[in-house]
Amino acid sequence: MSDKKNVLCTGNSCRSQLMHGYLAQSLGDQATVYSAGIETHGVNPKAIQVMREDGVDISHHTSNHVDEYAAVSFDYVITVCDNAREACPVFPSSATKLHHNFPDPARATGTPDEIINQFRVVRDEVKAYAQDFTRRYFN
């Protein structure tokens, strides 16, 4: 059985990139982690910033469309927003499908400090989910 994971999020610029960063860090060589979306918008600079604050570099990540991975056989597909779950293409596999709807920090409003703090809140929620996923499926 392959250990490839797929993290899917509409836009593929923020929440799925956070998840990708934490899963790649915690799973190491146990898995190949991908992130993709049903749209591509580039990786959000604030997502890169808050991950860097937590010691994870996602600056090299790219925003990929799910169609790019159509030939990959996935073991897990994790959707991180309701829109991605509803619009996610059907992968022809027996992948375990998991879902959690994280708030979209890219939609945060307020002062620059309030906005970056919303990114940190979502980052911390994603980190906790990634740690739980790793414990549940890999330990």
Q: What is the pLDDT of residue 20?
A: 93
Note the pLDDT tens digit of each residue in 51-86: 999 999 999 999 898 888 888 888 888 888 877 666
Cβ partners under 8 Å of residue 15, min gap 6: 9, 80, 81, 102, 104, 105, 122, 126
Q: Which residues pair with residue 34 across a beta bridge?
A: 6
pLDDT band at 1 (very low <50, low <70, confident <90, very high): very low
Mark residue 34 as left, alpha or beta (left: phi above 0; alpha: psi -120 to 50; beta: remaining): beta
Q: At residue 26, what are phi and psi to the nearest 5 degrees?
A: -80, -30
Catalytic positions are 9, 81, 88
Q: What is the pLDDT of residue 104?
A: 92
- DSSP-derived letter for residue 65 is B
pTM value?
Answer: 0.89
Which architecture does CATH list for 5-138? Answer: 3-Layer(aba) Sandwich (3.40)
CA distance 128 to 44: 20
Dig out the tokens for 12 from the structure: 């593929």
- For the cut 70, the answer to whether the pLDDT of residue 92 exceeds it is no
Boundaries of every domain in the chain: 5-138
108: nearest Cα among 120, 119, 124, 93: 119
Q: What is the mean pLDDT of residues 31-35?
A: 90
Q: What is the pLDDT of residue 103?
A: 93
Question: For residue 85, how far is the Cα from the chain centroid?
Answer: 13
